[in-house]
Amino acid sequence: MTTTADDLAGLLLRRRQGVYVPSGAGRTAVTDAAVVVLEAELADRGHLLTAPLRRALAALSVADLAETGRKLIADVDALMGSDRHHAPLFQRFPDDIPYQHAYDRYTSLVVAHLAAQPHQPCMNCAGTQSRVRALAPCAHLLCDDCHRKELDTGCCDLCCVWYACPICENRYETDGPTDPWIDSGAGLGGDGGEILRALCLAAPGDAAAELAALLARRTPLSPQDHDDLVLLLGHLDPADAAHWLPADIPLRESKALALAPLLDVPDVRALVGRYADTATDVLRMLVVRAGGDPDLLELPRLRGLPRAVRRELLALLDGFDLRRLAEDMARNPRAWKRVGEILHPFEQAHRHARVALAFAVLRGTRIGDSALGEVLLAEAARHEDVRIEGDRLRIVTWQGRVEEAIGRWDTTAAAGLLRERPGELLRRLDLLLARSGSETLPDAVGEALADALPRSGPGPLLGAYGRMKVRSVPGHRRVFFPRGRVTRAYAVEDHRPPLPSRVAGRAGELIEAEAVRRLAAGSRGEQYEVAVLDASLDDLPVPFAERASAASLVAVPRGSSLPMPADSETVRLFLHWLQPKGVRVDLDLSVALYDDLWRFIGLCDYTQLTYAGGAARHSGDLTSAPAPHGATEYLDLDLPRLANVGVRFVVPAVLSYNNVPFDELPDAFAGFMAVEGTGRAVYDPRTVRQRFDLAGHAALRVPMIVDLRSRRAWWTDVTLVTGDGNHDVWRYSKQLGRMGNDLLDTFRPGGRATLWDLACWTAAARTDGTVYVRGKGHVLWGYRRAEDEPRADFALRVRDGWEPDELRAEPGPELAGRRALLALLHGELEGAKGIASGTVYRLYPGPVDAAAAVRITAGDLAGWLEPA
């Protein structure tokens, strides 16, 4: 894959809000004016320049500023989805600079934002520890702390006052001791406006830091993270791999992406053996080398290998345990038969007899009286699991013995086998407990669980914990999300008897105690002096099935429940697409409407443009999307009016009417905005709440389900199996209703570990000071662990909301100069700027991004549960 500097710039903007700026000679009057125009353009898109970035831009030459400014605007538009049809305010920037127009425009935009939402970032420090106001007359946002530190005043309060803006570095004079702030009415309104995104000056090591973070990820990468990793690896020289490869790459798909290019570089090829420790690692590398994806869902035509590479790979495979080698091959038999065609394992079988034996079992090779047969029989005699059946060899696998034990309901034997592989034990834990028939945790299963827990990975640990929560709920439906390039959900009636609450509860306690123990063990992780957790994280499950999630503006875990906009705002769904040359593509934006019992009661789509007198309104049907502009459809939802006419559930859907799969479109995305009033539909990037790409071999995607009674949206991000064409929401109304019912039935009981669970465990394990919880009323609940209190018990107090040790307002001085753990829904927290170091997770961006803390993802938080 060929990558460019522009690709890298877009990645840093999206992941870090960082902007690379070349070095410049110094400021001029023309560049000062041009930067004001650029500020107005960015403010119109909901973005601000921080002071270091603004100074770096102002130091550029006019030509470099023009080029950098255009690229920055284009990248911001691409990030927000407005680059397709959102024309810039000033078409001829910077050749014809309407300076005063830009100045007035920027001022009005900033003041309007500040009046609607007082918690804007300071452009000097990017924080919101103190009040943020707009400085007159330049309208640059500055907090009170930075004002006190940076502004110059006259000799006394009675003379003229000079003050300098630390952002644009211009000096202003006033007549007497005048307050230098623009009156914006900030603080008089509500907090319903948008928080501007602060753009920062990118550092030279930012790309390397992102690469290191992605290679260190321990949970599956989303498609967006996967593409970012490929892009970053494309900027590196494989011959220099010894310098940029980390000591460990936990995720096997990431490992294949990093190591595959090394196979063709003799000087660093030996590094492959240091990282690849299973046969599937080798298979993934060969697939990536051939241009395929390491998920192994689709196999490309494998490329031939030089003799030296074949020998090295055969030697590597020959060092693996035979049972594991045979099992790995049995999981992907078709792929391994193709690998055999390029590795030639029988060519010199005496050198790599173990590999030859594994391929012989896979292929069902007849032994015969040949020299190969003698080598295979001699090697088979060294392994007690190999059997001779007629003239062929067979291996009794570990999986086969487990299935046999479970099939005869011998849970003692099954538990004894499963304790050898902790991940498999946790994946089958609910089945073992159900088949034991015991009202208490069986001794054999309990002993196996105690032995396996310290060695299990984060995924199986969290999955088993979630199943222990949901298996005690009678009548729960089972929903499966099969592995694939797109996410589909299949539901069946769960006829299994529920686990006794005592059994499920005890198993859950053991898992929870192990999670806290791991997080607290030794000095593996950073210790904190204070933690601030958002109780709303209980609505966000730990990410799962991320390999097929849509690339989106906000990485919302599937199954999350999020509040919908306020009553005064209209939810405006949008859909944009561009069709390939010579192919007409008709996408349709639709909603299906259901009552309390999931009975279909109406729709709004191209066949019915309004519902209930305008409670739902469609912008009209576009049946093609030719280049260069493509097509856009809107659908407005007035949620209170829909609820008043008997609608309970709203299911938005994007359909490909003429059955062209989304992955064949050069460009297609959808999302929703929160807009005031019911004016003309205009794509306004400042109001975009979510934007996601339409991808995969599918023709119907359901991004979310809205429950009007709770005024919450459940993020589903699933596709539906469709027929041959002429798709519309009426045709699939029954399927959509069944799927919606099944998904909410799965997501609502809390059958998965949540980010709230993870945050509470981490805070209890790594914080010796106070843990503050916000989101329980208008005050913070503070918890302090007693010296003799077990950390698992402390985590339970925080998680379940026991009576707090103290109640207080938002933390301010308590965070100053301390190491802090922040786990928040929105990236805004009073006093966050003052922390000395720490870690922050937030779902939505905000001023905490500029705090002196390392920002992590939900996957990183789960990855901390990796065993030592």
pLDDT one-digit tens code per residue, 211-221: 998 998 887 88
CA distance 75 to 11: 9
Q: What is the pLDDT of residue 523?
A: 46
Q: What is the pLDDT of residue 261?
A: 93
Q: Which two tokens stand for residue 836?
A: 């000395």
The domain segmentation of the chain, as residue ranges, is: 5-201, 218-398, 412-520, 528-538+753-863, 548-747
Q: What is the pLDDT of residue 601?
A: 96
Average pLDDT, integer, range 440-452? 91
CA distance 609 to 602: 12
Q: What is the pLDDT of residue 87?
A: 29
pLDDT bucket at 340, cuts 50 / 70 / 90 = very high
Q: How far is CA 777 from the centre of its chain?
A: 28
Considering the entire predicted model, what is its pTM? 0.74
CA distance 156 to 177: 9
Q: What is the pLDDT of residue 846?
A: 80
pLDDT at position 781 over 60: yes
Average pLDDT, integer, range 315-330? 92
Q: What is the CA radius of gyration of the chain?
A: 30
pLDDT at position 100 over 80: no
- In a 3-state reduction of DSSP, which class is residue 810? coil
CA distance 787 to 237: 52
Average pLDDT, integer, range 120-143? 77
pLDDT bucket at 24, cuts 50 / 70 / 90 = confident
Could you tell me the CA-to-CA distances from 575 to 343, 365, 622 in Å, in that order?
A: 48, 55, 11
CA distance 659 to 371: 56
For residues 277 and 554, which has the higher predicted lDDT (pLDDT)? 277
CA distance 315 to 113: 64
Instruction: Give the best-scoring range by mean pLDDT among 2-16, 464-478, 488-502, 615-629.
Output: 615-629
The chain-wide mean pLDDT, for the chain, equals: 84
Q: What is the pLDDT of residue 497?
A: 72
Q: What is the pLDDT of residue 398?
A: 86
- Tens-digit pLDDT profile for residues 600-609: 999 999 899 9
Residue 437 burial (CB count, 10 A): 11
The pLDDT > 90 percentage for the chain reads 39
CA distance 545 to 557: 9
Average pLDDT, integer, range 542-557? 78
pLDDT at position 444 over 60: yes
DSSP state of 603: E
CB-count burial class (<10 Å; 0-12, 13-18, 19+) for 482? exposed
Single-letter code of the amino acid located at 151 = L
Checking 19-22 for CB contacts under 8 A at 24+ apart, the result is: 19/53, 19/72, 19/199, 19/200, 19/201, 19/202, 20/202, 21/53, 21/56, 21/57, 21/60, 21/68, 21/201, 21/202, 22/60, 22/64, 22/68
pLDDT bucket at 680, cuts 50 / 70 / 90 = low
Which candidate, 85, 38, 79, 77, places its Cα nearest to that of 57?
38
Average pLDDT, integer, range 508-526? 84
pLDDT at position 286 over 70: yes
Which candidate, 735, 853, 828, places its Cα nearest to that of 132?
828
Q: Which two tokens stand for residue 527?
A: 């210790």
Best CATH choice for the domain 548-747 from the list 3.40.50.1820, 2.60.40.10, 2.40.128.110, 2.60.60.30: 2.60.60.30
Backbone angles phi, psi at 486, to 5 degrees: -125, 155
Q: Are 139 and 107 in contact (CB under 8 A)?
A: yes
Average pLDDT, integer, range 673-689? 77
Q: Which two tokens stand for residue 351?
A: 């050198």
pLDDT at position 83 over 80: no
Q: What is the pLDDT of residue 371?
A: 86
Average pLDDT, integer, range 108-115? 76
Which candidate, 431, 426, 508, places its Cα nearest to that of 459?
426
Average pLDDT, integer, range 92-99? 43
Q: Which two tokens stand for residue 739?
A: 């799927």
Q: Are 653 and 591 in contact (CB under 8 A)?
A: yes
pLDDT at position 358 over 90: yes
pLDDT at position 186 over 60: no
Q: Are 466 and 460 in contact (CB under 8 A)?
A: no
Q: What is the pLDDT of residue 175?
A: 52
Peptide bond into 94 cis (omega under 30): yes
Backbone angles phi, psi at 611, to 5 degrees: -135, 135
In DSSP notation, 71-111 reads: HHHHHHHHHHT-TTT---S-TTTTTS--HHHHHHHHHHHHH
Q: Where are the beta strands (DSSP E) in 556-687?
A: 561-563, 569-578, 587-594, 600-604, 610-611, 616-618, 631-637, 649-656, 667-676
pLDDT at position 766 over 50: yes
Helices marked H in 682-808: 733-747, 755-766, 791-799
Q: What is the pLDDT of residue 84?
A: 65
Peptide bond into 137 cis (omega under 30): yes
Could you tell me the CA-to-CA distances from 228 to 13, 63, 551 in Å, in that order?
A: 12, 30, 11
Residue 822's contacts (CB-CB under 8 Å, 6 or more residues apart) are 531, 532, 829, 832, 835, 838, 839, 840, 841, 842, 848, 851, 853
pLDDT at position 95 over 60: no
Helices marked H in 142-222: 144-150, 206-215
pLDDT bucket at 474, cuts 50 / 70 / 90 = low
Q: What is the pLDDT of residue 205?
A: 85
Q: What is the pLDDT of residue 55?
A: 87
- Tens-digit pLDDT profile for residues 138-176: 888 888 777 776 554 444 443 445 667 888 877 666 554
Q: What is the pLDDT of residue 126?
A: 67
